[in-house]
Structure 1
Amino acid sequence: MTTSDVSRDPANYCYRHPDRMSFALCQRCQRTICPECQTQAAVGVICPECMREQRNGRSTAQKRAERRWGRGGGVAVRAGAAPVTNWIVGITAGFFLLDLLLGLFGVSVAQWLAFAAPTLYPQYFGVFEPWRLLTYMLVHGSFIHVGLNLLSVWMIGRVLEPMLGRWRFIALYLVAGLGGAVAVAFLAFGSTVVGASGALFGMLGALLVIGRTLGGDVRGILIILGINLVVGFLLRAISWEAHIGGLIAGLLVGWVFSTTRRADQSRRQLILLGVIVVALLALLAVPPLIWLR
């Protein structure tokens, strides 16, 4: 199927707004819906018609509970609404402030959360701290570092999260971060890395693949990627290795999401994501053979 075929396929557009492309399907009727038409349910999102049918089938007790506690059954995900993105930004900013506060007392949060490949190999270094494969994304080196990263995550997340849904977006963010750490272990074994830029590049990679699949114009994403990759190579303080690893992982996750859109492919989607994670973890067995021989 060509890009033009994808762009003409009505299944790639919201059934209520035929001019809006989307990646999300209603979990009940499986029709494509744009962010404006999505209502967050317990699992996934549902369209306005299915939500109306669900509400019409409520019992008297359920209606009374909803009147008491508000709009029960979920919060509508409006265009650009991205609660997981907001939580990621808030938690990461909180860790940065905590690191600053504890630093006044001589305690470094980054010291315990930053990624350094040697901490994964107790047989060589006597230390095994696997949480660093992900926690390095929570700590940053400066106000500029955390500010630019979180602003970018917030801007891109408001586009990606409504398209993918909460759990897919979380999976993308974590797998991309893992990919960044694995690349650092391969290409810069002795370095210490902090920051969410690996996950950020993974988000850009996934957005590139998904946008291309939906027939969108991805030239802007390519330009942003190109500029950031060049800057990463030029500035020694930036870990271009984490950028490359996160980007590759994001491209792979984006490919998985774009090829397993249908509801009957959810199991295949989980299996493919699991294969990516297992492959990344398995690759960590190689760096010591390269760097310590």
Structure 2
Amino acid sequence: MAADSAITTCFRHPQVESHVRCTRCDRYICPSCMREASVGHQCVECVKEGARSIRQARTAFGGRISTVPLVSYVLIGLNVLAYLAELARPSVEDRFAMLGTVPPGYLPQGVAHGEWYRLLTGAFLHLTPGEGTFGLTHILFNMLALWNIGRVVEAQLGRVRYLALYLLSALGGSVLVLLLAPTTFTVGASGAIFGLGTAYWVMGRRLGHDMRAVNQYMAGLLLWLVISAWATSWQAHLGGLLAGGVVTLAYAYAPRDGRRTPVQAGVCVAVLALLLALTWMKVTSLTA
């Protein structure tokens, strides 16, 4: 009886005899619960607790470090799927493109008539072959830019901040189209791409990078903004550039302490609120 009372068992598996203690909590653990530690073994719970206490690595702008640009891949995939849907059913473009309103005498449609979703869905559509000046090259150029710049920006910002930047830039482009050219039928991810380009430039300056290549890219972006005054929707490009610039300035220059994330999130919410307020004011004037 005395020998039986001296038997020790694993605290997680009482039916398994054990003579090894966790070096952290000093409880008995069986072989299946043992995890190698710098000294001796630890139990599963102590290993998990230790992992939670380790501070996660962050980028220079507060985002979580990730080696796979998952958001960029998903955005490219969504744009491609939307393009295939346009090819299969041309009515998709008419139904979801950015459109503020139509002239009097036509069937009411557009953002001014309750179709607010067009502010974002239009940013995932592109011109189809034989349509407009660019056709197929429209989506090719935009996706190439998203592939080249998006991956860099996502790696610097982290996935959540990057996605917020992309969507707010796209929304900013659509809102400026609504304000300045409400009857213009607009499609394309260019507004979001301009926002990413501005972010690339702002982050380069903040991190002290060699600005020659960055400035060359920004000069090309601004040149395309001028050319787009005759070729495409310059309003969407400028709106994306401005919205993306404001958001990235908040990302780059927010205080590097516990206030950084709240400040960055607060600016994103403020930009969203401003864009929605401008949309509501314009819609009200168009339907008055």
Give CA deviations for 1:74-95 in whole Å, capped at 9, x if unaligned: xxx33xx311101100111111
- Residue 243 of structure 2 aligns to a residue whose secondary structure is helix
* 1:269 and 2:264 matched: yes
Q: Answer whether contact 2:110 2:118 (CA < 8 A) is retained.
A: no
TM-score, scaled relative to structure 1: 0.67
* 1:253 and 2:229 matched: no
Taking the aligned partners of 2:241 and 2:111, their CA distance within structure 1 comes to 29
Identical counterparts, % of pairs: 34
TM-score, scaled relative to structure 2: 0.68
Taking the aligned partners of 1:169 and 1:111, their CA distance within structure 2 comes to 29
| Counterpart in the other structure of 1:19 | none
Larger radius of gyration: 2
Matches within 5 A, 1:144-155: 144-155=137-148
Q: Answer whether contact 1:232 1:238 (CA < 8 A) is retained.
A: no
Residue 263 (structure 1) shift: 5.5
Report the CA distance shift for 1:95/1:143 in structure 2 as closer, same or farther (over 3 A). same
In structure 2, which of residues 109, 117, 122 is the aligned counterpart of residue 136 of structure 1?
Answer: 122
Taking the aligned partners of 1:83 and 1:125, their CA distance within structure 2 comes to 31
Residue type of the alignment partner of 1:278? A
Residue 237 (structure 1) shift: 3.2
* 1:283 and 2:278 matched: yes
Give CA deviations for 1:248-291 in whole Å, capped at 9, x if unaligned: 11110101111236361212221121011101111224446887
Please provide the CA RMSD for this pair: 2.9
| Counterpart in the other structure of 1:158 | 151
Residue type of the alignment partner of 1:226? A
Matches within 5 A, 1:201-280: 201-235=194-228, 236-260=230-254, 262=256, 264-265=258-259, 266-280=261-275
| Counterpart in the other structure of 2:55 | 29
Number of residue pairs aligned between Structure 1 and Structure 2: 221
Taking the aligned partners of 1:262 and 1:244, their CA distance within structure 2 comes to 30
Taking the aligned partners of 1:239 and 1:110, their CA distance within structure 2 comes to 16
| Counterpart in the other structure of 1:87 | 74
| Counterpart in the other structure of 2:176 | 183
Residue type of the alignment partner of 1:251? G
Report the CA distance shift for 1:240/1:168 in structure 2 as closer, same or farther (over 3 A). same
Unaligned runs of 5+ in 1: 1-26, 35-42, 47-76
Give CA deviations for 1:51-78 in whole Å, capped at 9, x if unaligned: xxxxxxxxxxxxxxxxxxxxxxxxxx33
Unaligned runs of 5+ in 2: 1-52, 103-107, 128-134
Taking the aligned partners of 2:164 and 2:57, their CA distance within structure 1 comes to 23
